[in-house]
Amino acid sequence: MASPTPIPPLRPQRSFAGPVVLIILGIVFLLGTMGRLSWGPLAHTFAHYWPLLLILWGVIKLVEYQQAQRQGTRVPGVGVGGVFLVIFLIAIGLAATQASRVNWDELRDHIQLGDEDFQFFGHSYSFDDQLDQSFPAGSSLHVTSERGAVNVTSSDDNQIHVSVHKRINAQNQNDADKWNVSTKPQISVTGNMVNVNANTQGAGEHRVTTDLDIAIPRKGSVAISSRHGDVNVTGRDGDVDITNGHGEVSLADINGKANLNLDHSSARVSQISSDVSVQGRANDVSLEDIKGSVRLDGEFMESLKLVKIAKPVTFKSSRTNMEFSKLDGDLNLDSGDLQATNITGPVRLTTRSKDVHLTGVSGDVRLQDENGGIEIDVSKLGSMQLDNRNGDIEVHLPDKAGFQVNAQARNGEIQSDFGGLKIDNGDDHATANGIVGNGGPRLVLNNEHGTIEIRKGSAVAEAPEPPKMPREPKAPRAPEVPEPTEN
C-alpha cells in the first residue's frame, strides 16, 4: 500500500504594510529635501496626524488577513522588522506631538538663541516697512497681533505712524518675499476706531513675527490684542485695554484706566492716575504708584508686588482673598509668603499655606489662615479677629494701647506682655481674657495647634531703639583717634 503524499506546509505571503509606510515616508521626506514642502508645516502636520500611518498599517494587515483566508494560505506575520518599525513610529510620533506643544519662540528668548540657530526649519529673513496716515480727532486705536511685540508711544502730530519690523522663516528668499507681500500690516478706520492688524496669519501656517512700533496722539485710548509677544504702552491720557498671552506687558504714565487680561503673561504697571484691573492667569505682576483702585482676579503663578496704592485693593484667587483700603508701603505675595508694610484697613484676608507678616497696620483687621504663621505689627489699633490653624499667631501692639482680649488656643499656649489679662494655659486648651488700659478695640484671637503671643511694641517701633543704648554716645570720644581727623 502506497504511503500518502505529504502535504507541503502553507507558505505565508510576505506583508507589504511596512514597505507601504516606508514608501510614504520616503516620498514626503524627498519632497521636503527638494524644497517642494516646507519643513515647518511638514513637521506640524506629522505631529498631529502621524497616527494615520498606524491606521493605514492596520488596514493593510486586515486586507492581507482576509486575502489569506480566501486563498487558504497562512496569514503573514508582523516580523521583527515590522515590530521595530511600529515602535520607532510611535516613539517619533509622540515626541513630535509633545514638541509641537512647546512655545519655541519663548524658549528661544529664554536661552537667547537667534533665528539662525533654527535653520532646520528654514532661514530667517527680515523686512522693514513704514505706514503713516491721519489719526482722526477723538479716535481710539485697536491693535491685533498674532505674533510679535507691540509698542505704543505718543506722537507730536495728528497722525498714526507705524514702523514694521518683520521676521519670516523660509527655505529661500523667493518664499520669504512672497509671504512678506501676503502679510503686509493693514490700517483701517471704522467710525472713531483706527484698526491696525499685524496680519501675521496672511502666510497660512508659515511662521511670521511682526513687531509694531506705533505712535499716535497722546489723548487716544488704546486696545491691544496680542497672543504671542510683549506689549509696551507709555504716555497716554486715554484708557488702555490689553489682552495678552505668553508675553510681558509694560504700562507707564497712563492717566486713564488700565485693564489687563493675561494668559501666562507677566505685567509691569507704574504711574497710573486711575483704576487698574488685572485678570486671567498671570506669571509675575508688579503694580507701583497707582492713584486709583486696584482689582486683581485670577491665578498669579509666580509673584505679586504692589507699591504705593492710593485707593482700595481687591485680590481674588483660588487660595487667597484680600481687601484693604490703602497701601503706603509695599506688598509682596508668592506661593508661600505674604508680606506688607504700611497697610491701611479695614484689612480682610483669607488664605491658606502662607506665612503672613503685616507691618505698620492701621485700622481693623480680619484674617484667617491655616498651615502658616501670622505676625502683625500694629501702628494704629483697630478691632481685630485672627483665626489660624497649624501655625503660630504673634501680635505686636503699641505699649500704651487700650483694648479688650478674648483669645483661645487648642493644643497651644498663650503669652502676653500686657498686665490685666487672665491667662489660663491648660493641658490642651489655653484662654486669655481681660481689658488692658482703658479698654477699646476688641481683639479676638483663635488658634488651633499653635501658640498665641501678645507683645508690646511693634517691630517698626523697636527698630530705632539701638541708638538709645548708652554705648552709642561714646562715639564723640573718637577724635582722640587720628582716623576721624582725615575727614
Establish how many alpha carbons lie within 13 A of residue 4's alpha carbon, considering only the half-sphere containing its beta carbon: 3
Per-residue pLDDT band at 402 (split at 50, 70, 90): very high
Least trusted range by pLDDT, from 157-166, 194-203, 264-273: 194-203
Cα 229 from Cα 252, distance rounded (Å): 18
Residue 107 domain flag: no
Which of 249-253, 293-297, 478-482 comes out lowest in average pLDDT? 478-482
Quote the domain boundaries for residue 208: 121-229
The answer on 325 and 459 residing in a single domain is yes
- Report if residue 5 sits inside a domain: no
307 and 337 together in one domain: no
Contact 285, 276 (CB under 8 A): no
Regarding predicted confidence, which is higher, 100 or 130? 130
Domain co-membership, 327 together with 432? yes
How many residues are present in the chain?
Answer: 487
For residues 223 and 269, state if they share a domain: no
Is residue 8 in some structural domain? Answer: no
Instruction: Report the DSSP pairing between strands 294-309 and 326-333.
Output: antiparallel
**How much is the average pLDDT of 48-66?**
79
Instruction: Please indicate, yes or no, whether residues 212 and 131 belong to a single structural domain of this protein.
Output: yes
* For residue 107, pLDDT beyond 80: no
Is pLDDT larger for residue 25 or for residue 235?
A: 235
Q: Is residue 487 part of a domain?
A: no
Burial 85-108 (b: 16+ CB within 10 A, else e): bbeebeeebeebeeeeeeeebeee
Q: What is the mean pLDDT of the chain?
A: 84
Answer whether 155's CB lies under 8 Å from 208's CB: no
- pTM here is 0.73
Question: Is residue 136 assigned to a domain?
Answer: yes
In whole angstroms, give the CA distance from residue 221 to residue 249: 16
Q: What is the mean pLDDT of residues 13-17?
A: 63
Range picked from 1-15, 34-48, 69-83, 305-319 for highest mean pLDDT: 305-319
Question: Considering the domain boundaries, does residue 7 fall inside one?
Answer: no
Model confidence at 254, pLDDT cuts 50, 70, 90, reads: very high
Q: How far apart are CA 118 and CA 322, in angstroms?
A: 46
d(CA 332, CA 339): 5
Among 314, 340, 366, which residue terminates a domain?
314
Whether residues 332 and 439 share a domain: the answer is yes
* 355 and 260 within one domain: no
Q: How many C-alpha atoms does 400 have within 13 Å on its Cβ side? A: 0
Boundary (domain end) residue, out of 185, 210, 229: 229
Confidence check: pLDDT of 250 > 90: yes
Task: With respect to residue 109, please indicate whether it lies within any of the assigned structural domains.
Answer: no
Burial bucket for residue 456 (CB in 10 Å: 0-12, 13-18, 19+): middle
Instruction: Specify the number of domains making up the chain.
Output: 4
> 347 and 273, same structural domain?
no
> Does 358 share its domain with 223?
no
- Would residue 345 count as lying in a domain? yes
Which residue reads 485672627 in cell numbers?
A: 386
pLDDT at 39 over 70: no
Residues 397 and 377 in one domain: yes
Query: Residues 6 or more apart from 129 whose CB is under 8 A from it?
Result: 163, 164, 166, 184, 185
Residue 21 to residue 54: CA distance in whole angstroms: 9
How confident is the model over 441-466, as a mean pLDDT? 77
Are residues 336 and 451 located together in one domain of the fold?
yes
Least confident piece of the model among 26-30, 167-171, 251-255, 473-477: 473-477
Model confidence band, residue 460 (pLDDT cutoffs 50, 70, 90): very low
Domain boundary pick from 198, 229, 260: 229
Classify residue 468 by its DSSP letter: G
pLDDT of residue 467: 45
pLDDT over 90 percentage in the chain = 62
Q: Are 190 and 72 members of one domain?
A: no
